[in-house]
Amino acid sequence: MPGTTAAPRIVVTGATGAVGRHVAQLLPADADVRLFVRDVAKARRMGLPGELVQGDHQDRPDLDRALRGADAVFVVTANPLRPADDENILAAARAGGVRRAVKLSWLGVADPAADGLIARWNRDAEALLRASGLDWTVLRMRTPMSNALAWAPSIRGEGVVRALGGAARSACVDPRDVAAVAVGALTGPGHAGRTYALTGPAPISVREQVRELSRVLRRPIGFEELTADQALARWRERLPEPIARALLEVAERRSTGASEHGEGDVEAVTGRPPASFATWAADHGPHFG
């Protein structure tokens, strides 16, 4: 019909992840949203709005199905040992006629001294995106506040958090703020060729986060410092050796103050200041029982 504009078709990869789930929820109701997920049942349990397309980042035909005819894609990859995932998504996007790609990355890449597996993988993925021929936007995220959800079982069961680097501070960011920036970049003008640094309002240590959760839950929560060996042993239980070692390296850099610096891009893009950990904790109290 003359004068009408078709709803933008937006594909969200990593839609069940820490940021992707909020991107799915925040996209405008008139957008034609496809969520690329490897576990459809999980996406259904989360009640995510949008058409679910099942697939794996390794599988080009799955990605081709999801991306054909789309306008924009939110790119989230999660395995530093599989750098081809980013390449697959971008190749499928180009083949499918997608114009715009917004990529979740890590603010640690801005630190020239960070040269471990996770920094190299994110830097390479950013470079691929910038060379992709698509209108690109990079979202460099500081630690998402939602990483604290990993403490939920021991808080519920024993009233304690065990972690490495209790005194290390990070300007951690509410993933909902990162998602709000992503939605702006996926749907609005003026974001092509931009790299945003996304942090929370102020650095906060793990011990301070635990105190905040204790305040929200109105009961004491203890903190027990892990040694590097203990932390490594825990990561090894669920992750391949190179990733476990890379996480230790990131934690060691964080303890030098490398993650403390806050940046203003959440407010610059969304028009409102980033949420504090206190706000995030108040909104997520029920997850900690």
Residues binding ligand NAP (CB under 6 A): 14-18, 20, 38-39, 42, 56-58, 76, 78-79, 104-106, 118, 122, 141, 143-144, 147
Task: Return the H-helix or E-strand segment holding 267.
Answer: helix 265-270
Rounded (10°) angle between helices 241-254 and 117-130: 90
- Whether 9 and 73 have beta carbons less than 8 Å apart is answered as no
Q: Which amino acid is at 241?
A: E
Whether 229 contacts 251, CB under 8 Å: no
- For residue 6, the minimal CB distance to ligand NAP (Å) is 27
Using the structure block, give the residue that is written with the tokens 């995106």.
Answer: 129
Closer Cβ to ligand NAP, 118 or 155, answer by number: 118
Question: What is the residue whose two structure tokens read 């206190």?
Answer: 278
Nearest to ligand NAP of 16, 187 (CB atom): 16
The minimum distance between CB 144 and ligand NAP, in angstroms, equals: 6
Tokens read off for 218:
């109105």
- Cβ closest to ligand NAP, residue 17 vs residue 203: 17
Closest residue to ligand NAP, judged by C-beta, is 17
CB of 140 to ligand NAP, least distance (A): 8
Taking CA atoms, 133 is separated from 58, 93, 94, 136, 266, in Å, by 21, 10, 8, 8, 26
Nearest approach, Cβ of residue 174 and ligand NAP (Å): 13
Minimum CB distance to ligand NAP smaller for 49 or for 159: 49
Q: Which is nearer to ligand NAP, 1 or 113 (CB)?
A: 113
Contacts of 74 (CB under 8 A, 6+ apart): 10, 11, 12, 13, 14, 20, 23, 102, 104, 182, 186
Query: Is 110 in a helix, a strand, or coil?
Result: helix
Q: What is the dihedral of CA 231, 234, 240, 241, to 10 degrees?
A: 40
CA 126 to chain centre: 15
In angstroms, give the least distance from the CB of 26 to ligand NAP: 15
Nearer to ligand NAP (CB atom), residue 9 or residue 103: 103
Distance, first Cα to last Cα, the chain: 52
- What gap in Å lies between CA 24 and CA 35, rounded to an integer? 7
* Identity of the residue, 60 or 215, whose beta carbon is nearer to ligand NAP in the bound complex: 60
Min CB(142)–ligand NAP separation in Å: 6
Q: How far is the CB of 79 from ligand NAP (least distance, A)?
A: 6
**Residue 105 or 214 with smaller CB distance to ligand NAP:** 105
Q: Compute the least distance from the CB of residue 264 to ligand NAP, in Å.
A: 18
